[in-house]
């Protein structure tokens, strides 16, 4: 009987240790302290003696993985069939060129701040593949003071916008000609795009201006949409991040 109890105890210890080891090796899923693939990833592709900077932006919303991929300064292309499971990322990109659709199938393994894998595609009916290795880019910082110059009615003035992004919530204020600040409304920052609304009152009339812009380093570039005399108008704006004053 003692031998049977001893054997059973040893078996239980071995099984428990094995399960613990398996649980330790298995990557945890999103929301359980596991690896995070959402973010911005960058790498360089060389093709026909040319090099292109690639940018992959991934985001997870309501448990679904989505994103876009950009080559150089070109437009963003939405990715399709994106999935991330047990440390492996897969997605598809469909591009159109000269009336022909080209499909690129990406697969990569996440290791810390690196994604490494292969891209599979066809050229002239021949299956091809190439390696890719992307690094996680630092999270873009929108917090700070932004300035730009605007010309209206023959007058030129400098504008100041103060933004603060904290825990996903964007707040801020736009400086006016009288030195007073107006709080921005409906502010959002998603996928490198910032949007907000400014409502001002002048001579008893409310004026609404809708701002949209794309963040690139220390520059925000986009458009302002508003109405004047009942007519919808827009103008470009390009703000630069003001450098913090040196402490004495």
> In the CATH hierarchy, which fold is given to the domain comprising 144-241?
Lipocalin (2.40.128)
Task: Let me know if 8 is exposed, middle or buried by CB neighbors in 10 A (0-12, 13-18, 19+).
Answer: exposed
Q: Which CATH architecture fits 39-136?
A: Beta Barrel (2.40)
Encode burial over 126-137: b for 16+ CB neighbours within 10 A, e otherwise.
eeeeeebebebe
What is the reported pTM? Answer: 0.56
Contact 71, 54 (CB under 8 A): yes
**Boundaries of every domain in the chain:** 39-136, 144-241
pLDDT in tens, 138-188: 877 899 999 998 776 677 889 999 999 988 899 999 997 677 899 999 999
pLDDT, tens digit (0-9, with 9 covering 90-100), for 110-140: 999 999 999 999 888 899 999 999 999 887 7
What residues contact 54, with CB distance under 8 A and at least 6 apart? 42, 43, 44, 45, 69, 70, 71, 132, 134
- Are both 39-136 and 144-241 of the same fold? yes
Query: What is the percent of the chain with per-residue pLDDT over 70, rounded to a whole number?
Result: 83
């Amino acid at each position: 009987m003692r031998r049977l109890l001893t054997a059973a105890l040893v078996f239980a210890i071995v099984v428990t240790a094995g399960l613990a080891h398996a649980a330790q090796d298995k990557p945890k899923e999103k929301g359980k302290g596991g690896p995070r693939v959402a973010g911005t990833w960058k790498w360089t592709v060389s093709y026909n003696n040319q090099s292109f900077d690639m940018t992959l932006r991934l985001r997870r919303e309501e448990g679904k993985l989505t994103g876009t991929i950009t080559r150089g300064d070109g437009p963003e292309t939405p990715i399709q069939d994106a999935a991330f499971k047990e440390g492996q990322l897969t997605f598809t990109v469909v591009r159109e060129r000269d009336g022909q659709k080209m499909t690129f199938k990406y697969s990569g393994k996440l290791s810390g701040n690196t994604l490494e894998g292969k891209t599979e595609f066809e050229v002239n009916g021949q299956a091809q593949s190439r390696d890719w290795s992307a690094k996680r880019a630092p999270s873009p910082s929108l917090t700070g003071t932004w300035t730009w110059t605007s010309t209206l009615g023959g007058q030129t003035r400098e504008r100041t916008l103060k933004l603060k992004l904290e825990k996903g919530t964007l707040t801020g204020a736009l400086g006016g000609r009288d030195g007073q600040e107006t709080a921005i409304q409906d502010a959002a920052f998603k996928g490198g795009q910032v949007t907000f609304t400014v409502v001002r009152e002048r001579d008893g009339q409310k004026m609404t201006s809708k701002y949209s812009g794309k963040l690139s380093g220390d520059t925000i570039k986009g458009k302002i949409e508003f109405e004047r005399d009942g007519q919808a108008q827009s103008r470009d704006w390009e703000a630069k991040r003001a450098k913090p004053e040196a402490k004495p």
